[in-house]
């Protein structure tokens, strides 16, 4: 089923919440990975990170390095969100760094209900 981002979804994506440090939290990226996977039919980490950069939602604090990892916070949070989704069987590894989405999970249904609309 083809989807598009609803008005509520556009507002959610363009105005992400931020944690106490002023950084976009991992939970936002989990939802955005699901939205992206539904819209584009697959998830590849590098393509998704480019998508996030192109949204122009990142601020200076998102580019700060994490204390325990050499990555910038936004990139580290995306990788952590992918791992959570993978461990919960929401994302499944296909091949060559491509992941597919398990659309039958409640978490996916919640994202569809809140941020997407079906194209007819």
**What distance in Å separates the CA atoms of residue 3 and residue 69, rounded to the nearest whole number?**
35
Is the CA virtual torsion 69, 75, 81, 87 positive or negative? negative
**CATH classification number, 3-118, choose in 3.30.200, 3.40.50, 1.10.10, 2.60.40:** 1.10.10
pLDDT at 1: 62
pLDDT tens across 4-54, in order? 999 999 999 999 999 999 999 999 999 999 999 999 999 999 999 999 999
Q: What is the bridge-based pairing of β-strands 91-95 and 98-101? A: antiparallel
| Cα 118 to Cα 120: distance, rounded to the nearest angstrom | 6
Six-digit token string for 103: 């659309």
Q: What digits encode the pLDDT tens for the residues 47-98?
A: 999 999 999 999 999 998 877 777 899 999 999 999 999 999 999 999 999 9
* Distance from C-alpha of 108 to C-alpha of 3, rounded to nearest angstrom: 13
pLDDT over threshold 90, residue 104: no
């Amino acid at each position: 089923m083809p989807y598009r981002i609803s008005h509520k979804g556009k507002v959610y994506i363009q105005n992400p919440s931020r944690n106490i440090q002023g950084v976009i939290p991992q939970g936002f990226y989990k939802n955005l990975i699901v939205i992206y996977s539904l819209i584009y039919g697959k998830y590849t980490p590098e393509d998704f990170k480019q998508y996030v950069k192109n949204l122009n939602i990142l601020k200076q604090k998102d580019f700060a390095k994490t204390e325990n990892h050499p990555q910038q916070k936004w990139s580290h949070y995306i990788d952590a969100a992918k791992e959570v989704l993978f461990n919960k069987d929401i994302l499944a590894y296909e091949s060559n760094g491509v992941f597919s989405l398990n659309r039958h999970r409640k978490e996916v249904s919640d994202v569809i209900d809140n941020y997407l609309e079906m194209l007819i």
